[in-house]
A and B are shown apart, each in its own frame.
Chain A
Amino acid sequence: MGFSVYIILVPMLMFLVIGLGSTKLSPRAAGIFGTLGLSVSAVLSYITAFRYFFAEGLQEGIYSSITAWSVEWLRFSDKLHIDMGVLLDPISVMMLVVITTVSLMVHIYSFGYMKGERGFQRYYAFLSLFSFSMLGLVVATNIFQMYIFWELVGASSYLLIGFYYTKPAAIAASKKAFIVTRFADLGFLIGILIISFCTGTFDFGLLTADNASLAVTSMAGGSFLGLSTATWAMTLLFMGAAGKSAMFPLHIWLPDAMEGPTPVSALIHAATMVVAGVYLVARMFPLYLFAAPDVLTLITYVGAFTALFAAIIAIRQTDIKRVLAFSTISQIAYMMVALGVSGMGGHAGEGYTASMFHLFTHAFFKALLFLGAGSVIHAVHSNEMEAMGGLRKYMPVTHWTFLIACLSIAGIPPFSGFFSKDEILSAAFSHDKVVFVVLLLVAGITAFYMFRLYYRIFWGAERQYEKHPHEAPSVMFIPLVFLALLSCLTGWIPFSHFISSDSVPYDLGINWWIAAGGILVSLIGIIMATRLYRRESDLPERIASRWAGFWNAAAHRFYIDQAWLFVTKKIIFRCISTPIAWFDRHVIDGAISGLGTGTEKLSGAIKGIQSGRIQTYAAVFVWGVIIIAVCVFIF
């Protein structure tokens, strides 16, 4: 299936065409080039997926890993070399489908949303660059290729968040996103260094083969500061994943990243890039499970905590994109937990399947939510809930599609989120009851804040709109309808037949006891939201005032941003960089300059000796002779 390499190369080509053409291309041409490129990629990945899952992939009852294309890119030493290649296995093929579908929808949608914006060409160039990098990331054959594309998605995310580069908030957000993820990537890099040093390879196939036996044997024995080598390596790797996937406490960049154009948030900060961390853990799953199971426990708890933490903050946000951002953090944490509670093979590996399933369904309904929000923002020219209300009459398509997405994320059958969430809950139930309870609680909170959002946008009293709000143009609502269809249908895919921890298809039914619990909790959340927000009242305020301190803290996102700001501004700038710069200018350079002035002083002091007066020379000469003569005489 060598053609699959073109899935990645076509967007790259489009990036070059649009990027180099820049303003010489008309905006329309740039958009068409970008969209066409992505359409080609999408069609090719559908063909790839079809052929992989139904023809070539399944061999003797196991989905095999196919290296469709590979070249050696850089050779470090006799053993270590970076290859660039295309690895097809169930999760990478699934990701190809997700990325190209959402990206294509975003490309089409942006025609309407970004119409008339300055830098339209640049926008499409960056979208193509991002698609290229993201596709390259998921098909990576080795961990270093993944790291390379990992950095590239970070850079394209930086460029797109900072798309409105004259807006100070956008600049700050893009910088923050890049630096926070870069900091996390440092962990990723050191993890790679440790793993490659021990095992002598970057290759995923070799690393994960036979229950990661290579890593288990080669990393055995060593320890550093009381933790084993494997624990260090896998924790550091998870640090990289946590950075990209916005896990606590590295989540701070994602809400700010909403400063970018809304379709970008849909693509990068909801559906694709932010799940890269989950994808990385899934990719390295055998290593986690067999070499460092303690790190898997860490992942479970970090995930569970993040899910709850972000969900609570989401209740208190008033910017609709930030609500969605925290909801994204919370849902990705769900996926992380699912991986954390997973085992290997068959039903023990339910969490693995569930995680990938939720990644798949979440991508569509979350992209739909963002694009819907974009449509609303497009109509009312504001992100704030205060500026919205009663919009369901003006924007019927947006309203209905948004409702479908809300039901889906709340986990109401028969929408897709129900199926994947149920699997996660069931996996958590069989592994760890505490985590299960937390997740169940999060499910309720999710339903609550999503419907709070829904009611405050589409119900309630109408606002004084400057211009009459209107439904989005058809290039914008066609993607909405398409994604809504996917949100209705994708849940019915028998996911365990395609993706499982050991690549062996198995049957996984709905656990109705747990499903009933999940639905019940979600319904409670929805009913509470309906009671509080369907009609405007002062009830929410009164309830909130009972826990004023807590709610204020939630509104300020529990001051995590401030804590980080303290570290960077106060500690790094004030206590490290400024003293270093001072030290350099005054102590080190001072010493060198001191040497210079010292020499000058010294020569000033002794230059009197070379006076040029013959009498002095003669006197010194005579006295010298006398002193020497006396010395000789005495000794």
Chain B
Amino acid sequence: MNILSVLVIIPLLTMLALFVSKGQKFVRTVVTAGFGLQLLCAVAMAVMFLQERAVSDAPMLLCSDTVWYAPFNIHYTVGVDGISVVMILLSAVVAFAGVFSAWNMERDFFAWYSLLSIGVFGYFISLDLFAMFMFYEIALIPMFLLIGVWGTGKKIYAATKLTLMLMGGSAFLLTGILGIYFTSGASSMNIMEIVQTGIPVNHQYWIFCLTFIGFGVLGALFPFHTWSPDGHAAAPTSVSMLHAGVLMKLGGYGCFRVAIFLMPQAAQELSWIFLILTGIGVVYGAYGAVVQTDLKYMNAYSSVSHCGMVLFAILMLNQTAMTGAVLQMLSHGLMTALFFSLIGMIYGRTHTRDIREMGGLMRIMPFASVGYVIAGFASLGLPGFSGFVAEMTIFIGSFEHADMFRRVLTILATTSIVVTAVYILRTVGKVLYGPVQNPEHLKLDDAHWYERFSAVALIVCIVAIGVWPSGVQGIIYDSLAPIVEHLNLF
């Protein structure tokens, strides 16, 4: 069987195994084994991809194709290029780390968690628009339950809002996909085939807008981002991790794989509108984060800023900036997952996320605090961490454009790195340093081994990319070459 399908089958089997498992120990064993195997499989897939890439020039590798529903010529087509490989690795790491952050959760939680993973992995391997859309929906629905049932605070409100907004995006998407299906000359929904036949230019405009906004909602495109603060705040730790770490990347990936790749002329001509929106998002999210008092809200706004950078870079439509965009997805995924896992540790003990009620945690929980400082440094783009590599690639790439409009926007986007430093250091100073605010906190214990494992795994990945970026950067850069070439034909 094709290794890519295995990536969908493992979470499926995990989910099925969970239904028959009893007792928390057993559940933990099943989930750890399942997602551990998934991670191994993802790594094996990456190795196979690299081996095959060395001998093949095809844009998509490890392909396989099965007819699914013959009357509409819908196929289950899978295949990966460097970008999807990177995304799959990210998803596998975050999902695995998330299991450890959710160590004390019950069986049903993990069942939905596995279902969500099926959607995520299926989405990244699909080449058929219909299959892609289906997996996309599979990834969104469990979120409602995961937040609504296991969340905290205004969880029903947040879950409903999140789901409805993303469903609204899906409505745009579905229309867009049908538009692609009926206007392109292709006989199937296979992306690679549609690229060959192309879509008439007059239809590209509206389809581009629909699909870009549709995916953009999930990628926190300004002004469709407001589900993010409420949703993240209400979600349990590991769901926040998976959601901000992986699910938001589904949006960026979709904008890139569908909206821009299939509608190149429209992308060239309309990119300025969305560049303005994403440029605003980058700065706006950063400023918005400065005055937040809830740790999760702060991180959510920070995500708006960082994910805005992803879409911003994609729209620059050149190889360097797009490489930066993918790197930023990867980096933001790891970083924000780390952040949420640490916030979860702190919240689980202090039972507050209000930064005004905390202080001096460094003495009380040194591990969690040091982790938080590291995450903060990564987030504000310190060299040695993945964020720096991603942001610099984006800035250099965006600045390559000779026109003043894009350059001024780039400079505007660079100012966000200063604002990021402001809000990160402000929280670090208030929450971790200083005298202990609440004497009750003195009794709290530091992170447990499973929480440590989750954080260390993510930190190792962040540092590895930050210190030795050329490996992963090379994979992405090379995979983008044919795509950018295709874009530049128009």
Question: Chain A: residues with CB nearer than 8 A to chain B?
Answer: 72-77, 80, 144, 148-149, 151-152, 155, 158, 162, 165-166, 168, 171-172, 174-175, 178-179, 182-183, 186, 189-190, 193-194, 196-197, 224, 572-573, 576-578, 580-581, 584, 588-589, 591-593, 596
Given A77-B319, A172-B429, A179-B421, 8 additional A-B pairs, CB 8 A = A76-B320, A152-B382, A174-B429, A577-B287, A580-B288, A584-B284, A588-B226, A591-B223
Q: Provided the pairs A175-B425, A175-B426, A581-B291 are in contact, do residues A189 and B383 lie with their beta carbons within 8 angstroms?
A: no
Find out whether the CB atom of A588 lies under 8 angstroms from the CB atom of B223.
yes
Q: How far is the CA of A581 from the CA of B298 in the complex (A)?
A: 11
Given A152-B382, A152-B383, also A178-B421 (CB < 8 A): yes
Query: Considering the complex of A and B, which 7 residue pairs feature the smallest CB-CB distances, nearest first?
Result: A589-B226, A165-B433, A148-B383, A577-B290, A577-B291, A193-B399, A171-B429
B114 within 8 A of A: no
B418's partner among A158, A183, A581, A584 (CB-CB below 8 A) is: A183
B320 and A74 within 8 A (CB): no
Q: How far is the CA of A172 from the CA of B430 in the complex (A)?
A: 10
Determine how close the nearest CB of chain B comes to the CB of A515; give it in whole angstroms: 44
Query: Which residues does chain B contribute within 8 Å of A168, judged by CB atoms?
Result: 434-435
Q: Is B415 an interface residue (CB 8 A)?
A: yes
Contact A190 B429 (CB under 8 A): no
Chain B interface size range: 35 or more
Contacts of B426 in A (CB 8 A): 175
Q: Which residues of B contact A172 (CB under 8 A)?
A: 429
- Distance in angstroms between the alpha carbons of A178 and B435 in the assembled complex: 21
* B274 shortest CB reach to chain A, Å: 17
Contact indicator A190/B411 (Cβ below 8 Å): yes
Q: Which residue of B lies closest to A150 (CB)?
A: B383
**A581 touching B226 in the complex, CB below 8 Å, given contacts A77-B319, A189-B395, A190-B414:** no
Q: Select the residue from B227, B429, B477 with max chain A CB neighbours within 10 A.
A: B429
Q: Which of B288, B382, B396, B469 contacts A584 (CB 8 A)?
A: B288
The chain B residues found within 8 Å of chain A, CB to CB, are 161, 164-165, 223, 226-227, 284, 287-288, 290-292, 319-320, 360, 362-363, 377, 380, 382-384, 388-389, 392-393, 395-397, 399-400, 404, 410-411, 414-415, 417-418, 421-422, 425-426, 429, 432-435, 469-470, 473-474, 477
Taking CB atoms, residues of chain A closer than 8 Å to B432 are 165
Q: Which residues of B contact A591 (CB under 8 A)?
A: 223
Which of A74, A76, A80, A174: most chain B CB closer than 10 A?
A: A76
Hey, which chain B residues are within 8 Å of A148, CB to CB?
Answer: 383, 388
* Given contact pairs A171-B429, A183-B418, A580-B284, A165 touches B434 in the complex (Cβ within 8 A): yes
Contact between A72 and B399 (Cβ–Cβ < 8 Å)? no
A593 to B227, CA, bound (A): 10
User: Shortest beta-carbon distance, A209 to chain B, in Å?
Assistant: 22
Q: Specify which chain B residues have a CB less than 8 angstroms from the CB of A72 in the assembled complex.
A: 470
CA distance in complex: A224, B284 (Å): 26
Give B256 Cβ to nearest chain A Cβ, in Å.
19
Q: Cα distance A162–B373 when bound, in Å?
A: 12
Can you list 25 residue pairs at the A/B interface with Cβ under 8 Å? A72-B470, A73-B470, A76-B396, A76-B397, A80-B396, A151-B382, A152-B383, A152-B384, A158-B425, A165-B362, A166-B360, A166-B363, A178-B421, A178-B425, A179-B422, A186-B418, A193-B410, A193-B414, A194-B399, A197-B400, A572-B290, A581-B288, A588-B226, A589-B226, A592-B227
Taking the nearest CB of chain A, how far is it from the CB of B275, in angstroms?
17
Q: Which of A76, A174, A194, A596 contacts B161 (CB 8 A)?
A: A596
Chain A residues near B411 (CB, 8 Å)? Answer: 190, 193
A591 and chain B: residue at smallest CB distance: B223
Docked CA distance A179–B426 (Å): 10
- Smallest beta-carbon distance B222→chain A, Å: 8
Q: Which residues of B lie under 8 Å from residue A584 when comparing CB positions?
A: 226, 284, 288
Q: Which of B363, B384, B404, B421 has the most CB of A within 10 A?
A: B421
B418:A179 contact, CB within 8 angstroms: yes
CB distance from A564 to the nearest CB of B (A): 13
Residues of A contacting B389 in the complex (Cβ-Cβ under 8 angstroms) = 74
Contact B396–A196 (Cβ < 8 Å): yes
CB closest residue in chain A, given B230? A589
A197 to B383, CA, bound (A): 21
Q: How far is the CA of A462 from the CA of B359 in the complex (A)?
A: 41
Shortest distance between the CB of B126 and any CB in chain A (Å): 29
User: Which of A74, A166, A596 is within 8 Å of B433, CB to CB?
Assistant: A166
Query: In the assembled complex, which residues on chain B have CB atoms less than 8 Å from the CB atom of A80?
Result: 320, 396
A80 to B222, CA, bound (A): 32
Separation of A149 and B384 alpha carbons in the complex (Å):
10
Residues of chain A within 8 A of B433, CB atoms compared? 162, 165-166, 171
CB distance from A602 to the nearest CB of B (A): 15
Distance to closest chain A CB from B300 (angstroms): 11
